Amino acid sequence: MSAVPPQPPSSTPAHSENSARRPQPLGRDFTLLWGASGSASLADGLVRVALPLVAVELTRSPALVAGVAVTTTLAWIVVGLPAGALGDRLNRRTIALSAALLRTVLLGAVGLLLFTDQLTVGMLFAAAFLLGVGEAFFDTSTPAMVPGLVPKEELSRAHGRRHAVAMAGNELVGPAAGGTLFALSKVAPLLVSTACHALSALMLWRMRAAPDRPREPEAERTALFTEVRQGLVLLVRSRRIAVIALWGGMANFAGSLTFAVLALHLVAPGPVGLDTWGFGLLMASLGLGGLIGALLAGRLAARVGELRLLTLSCALMAADSVALALTTQIWVIAVGLVVGSAAAAVFGVMAITALQRATPDSHLSRVSAGNQLVMMSGTALGGIAAGVLGEATGDLRVGFAVAAVLLLALTSMRAAIPAAPTGGLDPDRVR
């Protein structure tokens, strides 16, 4: 995450000057990338609701339902680092385009199998893993393209827009539409998400050639495994980056304790008793909070400072778990989801902007992939723990309570973050 985080405008003259200037255009290619990311995020939001509901149709086992989400994350852990290394070697647009096409074919196949009543739990697990592979390549390539498409001074604004459209699709519109479509037809959300990934591929194809960026000479290029290691070394060499990355990974662990089994708790015959439409609508409150958080992150950081904001957002992320552990009142749960997702979005926007400012472009995909590996590892382990706790206790609220306590305890990690260094990392020294 952040090696040299942006400081409030009041304490940094450069930022004061930037705040007074007029924003520069982000350009046609960024607009196409933004649209491709938004379309893919909408597809992800539809699938986010559809896959757990399909899993609930096939089995009532908490371990198996949680396992579908964990499998997607495990794919990230397996291929995330090589995907990042390939992103620093190959054309990032081509990688993202290939990933979009892969997910188009996969979701179309799952929809066809479901329509013909041929889909099994094993097939669903296999599809979830391959979708995770596509997501890993797409998500390591597309953010790393942004610094080459927009002026350096507009990097945080560009990432704020990208994060906002991701929240709108993945957390707001997608889940609400997914639940509604699933209520009409189990196949409908899968088919719509197939079309969304196809549209994403089309917009990536329409982008002009990716801008030139510094690359290592062919004679100096090392083996893929060595390049993966270099990315990890860059990630952990700065204690500041390592601590914040670990903080994010542990926060993801806590979040997964809640969200991996959320469908079982919310959808009838679970305690809350929602139908599939209501589940999708309630999940949309996550997107509402995330959209608000993404749009306000920069202003909040300028007012309270980044470290204070990270600490506060970590505490507020416990709101959804607290609500789920204490009540089955829909409006209370919805408020908790809005507050928790807004806090998570604030943390995410600040982290990716600071990470990219501190990382050389020739290593950007690898460092981003290493950071994402930490986050995904936390998510996967949290999902496994959620399934185990659910099976062992028979009460999903135990996992929700553990998640809330852990998030509040994690606020103490601020004390482990050292002062910001005066310079970035030198990739030439990482061998």
The string of pLDDT tens digits covering residues 418-429 is 765 544 443 434
Q: What is the pLDDT of residue 188?
A: 93
| Residue 366 CB partners (closer than 8 Å, separation 6+) | 81, 84, 85, 87, 88, 227, 228, 230, 231, 232, 234
Q: What is the pLDDT of residue 11?
A: 39
Give pLDDT tens digits for 166-200: 777 876 778 778 878 888 888 999 999 999 999 99
Give pLDDT tens digits for 59-115: 888 788 878 877 887 887 788 778 877 877 788 889 999 999 999 999 999 999 999
Q: What is the pLDDT of residue 357?
A: 64
Q: What is the pLDDT of residue 138?
A: 92
Residue 354 vs residue 312, higher pLDDT: 312
Residue 421 vs residue 317, higher pLDDT: 317
Q: Do the beta carbons of residue 225 and residue 371 sit within 8 Å?
A: no
Q: Which amino acid is at 425?
A: L
Query: Given a cut of 90, is residue 210 above it in pLDDT?
Result: no
pLDDT, average across residues 2-28: 48
Q: What is the pLDDT of residue 309?
A: 83
Query: Given a cut of 70, is residue 224 above it in pLDDT?
Result: no
Q: Do the beta carbons of residue 186 and residue 55 sit within 8 Å?
A: no
Buried b (16+ CB within 10 A) or exposed e, 184-214: eebbbbbbbbbebbbbbbebbeebeebeeee
Buried b (16+ CB within 10 A) or exposed e, 354-364: bbbbbbbbbbb
pLDDT, average across residues 13-32: 62
Q: Do the beta carbons of residue 343 and residue 313 sit within 8 Å?
A: yes
d(CA 120, CA 51): 12
Give pLDDT tens digits for 32-72: 998 999 999 999 889 888 888 898 888 888 788 878 877 88
Distance in angstroms between the alpha carbons of the first and the last residue of the chain: 21
Residue 316 vs residue 218, higher pLDDT: 316
Token pair for residue 121?
A: 């739990």
Mean pLDDT, all residues of the chain: 79
Q: What percent of the chain has pLDDT over 70?
A: 79
Q: What is the pLDDT of residue 7?
A: 38
Give pLDDT tens digits for 329-369: 888 998 998 899 888 888 777 777 666 666 666 666 677 77
Query: In terms of C-beta density within 10 A (0-12 exposed, 13-18 middle, 19 or more buried), how is residue 324 classed?
Result: buried
